[in-house]
A and B are shown apart, each in its own frame.
Chain A
Amino acid sequence: MDVLALLLNGIWIALEPINLGLALLGIIIGLFVGTMPGLGSVNGVAILLPFTFVIQQMTGQATSPMIFLAAIYYGAMYGGAISSITLGIPGASTAVATTFDGRPLALQGKAENALVIAAVASFVGGTISTLLFTGAAPLLANVALKFGNPEIFALMLLAFATFVGLSGDDIPKTVISICIGLILSAVGFDIISGAPRLLLFDSTEWFSRGIQFLVLAIGFYGIGEMLSTIYETKNKTEISEANMTLDRLRRALIKSSEAWKGTLIGSVLGFFVGILPAAGATPASLMAYGVSKMMSKQPTKFGTGAPDGIAAPEAANNSASTGAMLPMMTLGIPGSPTTAVLLAGMVIWGLTPGPQLFTDQPDFVWPLIGSFYVSNVIAVVVNLAFIPLLLRLLRMPFSILASLIFVLSVVGVFAAYQNMYDVWLMLFFGIAAFFLRLLKYPLAPAVLAIVLGPIAEPTLRQSLILSDGNWMIFLNRPIAGPITIVAIILILLPFFHFLRKQWRGTR
């Protein structure tokens, strides 16, 4: 009852005109930066951080600037799906899994269905996780504390396990792809020993910064994918002739209910992965995709435009982003670059993130939670309203769209890391991706591996330092153990299938 009163009061404050206006503005900014490949919520949030000082002085409360920044974060999560579906380039690592089915559906001329499914799933995911957040926040903070390095590594293993099974026709090629991503993620400086390593061709200028996710992702999807499309269609495509009327929107909305299963799986899984420190929305969306494929009655449809395949990762990444606010506020640790900037914001506004925040600063916490509900509603409405505009974009002649995507890719990579070396690397990866695709090497595992590598490697090594090199640390801890076992079973499953097939084949 107490919680309900606090929450209602919070929602009431979030509905004050100034806060409502800030949320709307934030959502629109977020959608915009989220849609641009290369830019994500982190750019929007970081750029606008200094202005929040002014907002705080204007309203006299720390909640208003936070509502604003959180709305940008939300908006960008919705926006990430848009570039994944319409351009085929994941705007952020969280939206990689959305391309698997979103892109094929768009290419079939059903972009509006894909966009609506993504929007609805995002809304449901965001709302479910906000409900969970409201009900159990302080309790869950303690669960998060139980996740040390061995547990996080076990979780990463589980994330890998779900996608070994995903693209599993040619196992050796999938493994190569994963290895490429994991090895590239190790380039640069080793956090643990502080030693430079894998400076390929001994070039400090090129490789000491490491190889960033977006360089690989935009190279693969922006440049590589475009080259492949031009090659396969011989420059004659018109991607889709989708048109949007209110009636079609209504039908698309009804159709989006087909994806209820993926949405539900994504929402719940996303929240629980999201609240774990350091895991974040990318593994969440990936695992949601894998799990809903496993639980689907028609797993073969995944990858060809299955509604559940769009809904699951989208619900999961929105759900996880709300979940990720939890460790940020109650433990003071950011799960993503965006929450890191939000954390810096909280410090600037004079708050101390930590377990005491909920009891010491109810005037900050509850209106913020209230704004999650409000922002979600705004975001889904704004997003649906933008869909007709986005579809017009797709009707552009292909050679113009392609040239714009190339420019966006180059500018996007530069904007993300602000140096030219990464732009050259992106071109290299793009051309390499074109050839690897011709030879049927799956590329998505490499992109996901480069995101998960920097989480998996340090946690693995930190765990092994703790255990003096004993691998049993992943099995004999109460939380890490079961997760590891499930992961190992999942990894071995496709190998068993493979061996059984081989055996039958020889008979």
Chain B
Amino acid sequence: MRVAEFVTATLIALASIYLMWKSGEGPSWDPTVKRFANIGINIDNSGPGSGFWPFWLSVVMMVSAFAVLGNALLGKSELSRSRKPFLTHFGLRMMLSVGGALFGFILLIEFIGFYGAIPLFLFYYIYFLGRHSLALAMGIAVAVPVFCFFFFDVAIRIVLPKGLLEPAFLPLYEIFL
């Protein structure tokens, strides 16, 4: 935990510096504007520039990150004294099985659309991770997309992407929309 506290605070401080750098960027259509020309409070008598708000907030964030580091160094926070591992073995396995499944789920949507990916994800999660019966897993994996289609596509007209499965849906549009 102690190491993680240091690493995270350092990462936040570095991110703040990147954000400060990025906030200072001028408009893309005018390369003559210098970096950090837009962070002042009253530029050309037309008030604060586009970088004013994010730049100074990044400064505040960086200072706060140093404060967290300071607290940790002095051992003031509970976390910085903790010797417990940041992520247990179980946690690592969970990140891989659940987080990985989520990643795969969203990736699949890009190719076979929501109605291809939802059943696969639900089946994987309920049958393999949840260890429920095959019938239950199949049932939910079919019922949820059907409900989604009628709720989103038909009732409230938010058309979920179908990816490669689009042709299969044309007859359904014909009937329901």
A interface residues with partner B (beta carbon < 8 Å): 33, 39, 43-44, 47, 170-173, 175-176, 179-180, 182-183, 186, 190, 192-193, 195-198, 200, 223, 227, 230-231, 234-235, 397, 399-400, 402-404, 406-407, 410-411, 414-415, 418, 420, 423-424, 427, 430-431, 435-436, 438-440, 457, 460-462, 464-465, 468-469
In whole Å, how far is A252's beta carbon from the nearest beta carbon of chain B? 30
Complex-state Cα separation, A462 to B52, whole angstroms: 13
Residue of B nearest to A407 (CB): B118
Q: Are A198 and B23 in contact (CB under 8 A)?
A: yes
User: When the two chains form their complex, are residues B148 and A172 in contact, meaning their CB atoms are under 8 A apart?
Assistant: no
Q: Are B42 and A439 neighbours in the complex by a CB distance under 8 Å? A: no
| B14 on the A face (CB < 8 A) | no
- Tell whether, in the assembled complex, residue A411 and residue B160 are in contact, meaning their CB atoms are under 8 Å apart: yes
Q: Determine how close the nearest CB of chain B comes to the CB of A34; give it in whole angstroms.
A: 13
**Which residues does chain A contribute within 8 Å of B27, judged by CB atoms?**
193, 195-196
Nearest-neighbour CB distance to chain A for B4, whole angstroms, equals: 6
Q: Distance (Å) between the CB of A505 and the closest chain B CB? A: 9
Q: Which residue on chain B has the smallest CB distance to residue A190?
A: B50
Q: Provide the B10-40 mask, 1 if CB < 8 A to any CB of A, else 0.
A: 0010000001001101111000000000100
Collect the chain B residues with CB atoms within 8 Å of residue A436's CB: 8
> In the complex, what's the smallest C-beta–C-beta distance from A179 to chain B, in angstroms?
4
The reply to whether A460 and B57 contact each other, CB–CB distance below 8 Å, is no
Q: How far is the CB of A369 from chain B (nearest CB, A)?
A: 28
CB closest chain-A residue, reference B155: A47
Give Cα A404 to B141, complex, Å: 10
Q: Is the CB of B125 within 8 A of A172?
A: no
- Which of B46, B91, B156 is within 8 Å of A47, CB to CB? B156
Contacts of B102 in A (CB 8 A): 223, 406, 410, 427, 430
In the assembled complex, how far is the CB of residue B49 from the closest CB belonging to chain A, in whole angstroms? 7
Q: How far is the CA of A436 from the CA of B68 in the complex (A)?
A: 13
* Contact of B160 with A176 in the complex, beta carbons under 8 Å: no
Chain B residue nearest to A401 (CB atoms) is: B130
Interface size on B, residues (CB 8 A): 71
Task: Select B77's contact among A47, A170, A186, A234, beta carbons within 8 Å.
Answer: A170
23 contacts between A and B (CB under 8 A): A170-B68, A179-B61, A182-B53, A183-B54, A183-B57, A192-B47, A197-B25, A235-B94, A399-B125, A399-B126, A399-B131, A403-B121, A404-B140, A406-B102, A407-B122, A411-B114, A418-B158, A420-B110, A424-B106, A427-B102, A464-B42, A469-B42, A469-B47
Residues of B near any A CB (own CB < 8 A): 1, 4-5, 8, 12, 19, 22-23, 25-28, 38, 41-42, 45-54, 57-58, 60-61, 64-65, 67-68, 71, 77, 79, 86-87, 90-91, 94-95, 98-99, 102-103, 105-106, 109-110, 114, 118, 121-122, 125-126, 129-132, 136, 140, 144, 148, 152, 155-158, 160-161
Give the complex CA separation of A253 and B132 in angstroms. Answer: 37
Q: With A223-B102, A234-B90, A461-B53 as given contacts, are A179 and B60 in contact (CB-CB < 8 Å)? A: yes
Known contacts A47-B157, A183-B58, A411-B114; A193 and B49 CB within 8 A of each other: yes
Most buried by A among B95, B144, B156: B156
Residue of B nearest to A36 (CB): B151
Instruction: Report yes or no: B126 in contact with A198, Cβ–Cβ below 8 A.
Output: no
The interface centre, meaning the residue of B58, B86, B109, B158 with most chain A CB atoms within 10 A of its CB, is B158
**Complex A-B, nearest 10 residue pairs according to Cβ-Cβ distance, in ascending order:** A469-B42, A399-B130, A465-B47, A179-B61, A172-B67, A403-B125, A195-B27, A190-B50, A172-B64, A175-B64
Q: How far is the CA of A197 from the CA of B55 in the complex (A)?
A: 11
**Which A residues are CB-close (under 8 A) to B158?**
43, 415, 418
Tell me whether A464 and B48 are in contact (CB under 8 A): yes
Question: Which residues from A are CB-within-8-Å of B161?
Answer: 414, 420
Tell me the interface secondary structure of chain B in the complex: helix
Indicate whether A438 sits within 8 Å of B53 (C-beta atoms), given known contacts A195-B27, A230-B94: no
- A403–B123 CA distance with the chains assembled, in angstroms: 9
Measured in the bound complex, the distance between the Cα atoms of B8 and A180 in whole Å is 14
Nearest-CB residue, chain A, relative to B43: A469
* Distance in angstroms between the alpha carbons of A267 and B115 in the assembled complex: 43
Question: What's the nearest-Cβ distance from chain A to residue B133, in Å?
Answer: 11
Q: Which residue of A lies closest to B77 (CB)?
A: A170
Known pairs A227-B98, A411-B152, A418-B158. 9 more at Cβ < 8 A? A175-B61, A183-B57, A192-B50, A197-B22, A197-B23, A231-B94, A410-B102, A414-B114, A414-B161
Q: Which residue of A lies closest to B136 (CB)?
A: A400
The distance from the CB of A37 to the nearest CB of chain B, in whole angstroms, is: 13
Q: Is the CB of B71 within 8 A of A172?
A: yes
Are A404 and B144 interface neighbours, CB within 8 A?
A: yes
Q: Chain B nearest CB: distance from A501 CB in Å?
A: 11
Q: In the bound complex, do residue B68 and residue A176 qualify as a contact, i.e. CB atoms below 8 Å apart?
A: yes
User: Among A39, A182, A235, A404, which residue has its beta carbon within 8 angstroms of that of B57?
Assistant: A182
B129 and A399 contacting across the interface, CB-CB below 8 Å: yes
Contact for A43 among B8, B61, B136, B156, CB less than 8 A: B156
User: Which of A175, A197, A435 neighbours the largest number of chain B CB atoms within 10 Å of its CB?
Assistant: A197
Find out whether the CB atom of B98 lies under 8 angstroms from the CB atom of A230. Answer: yes
What chain A residues lie within 8 Å of B26 (beta carbons)? 195
B157 — which chain A residues lie within 8 A by C-beta? Answer: 47
Give chain B nearest CB distance to A348 CB in angstroms: 17
Query: Chain B contacts of A415 at CB under 8 A?
Result: 152, 158, 160
CB neighbours (8 Å) of B25 from chain A are 197
Interfacial chain B residues near A403, Cβ < 8 Å: 121-122, 125-126, 129-130, 140
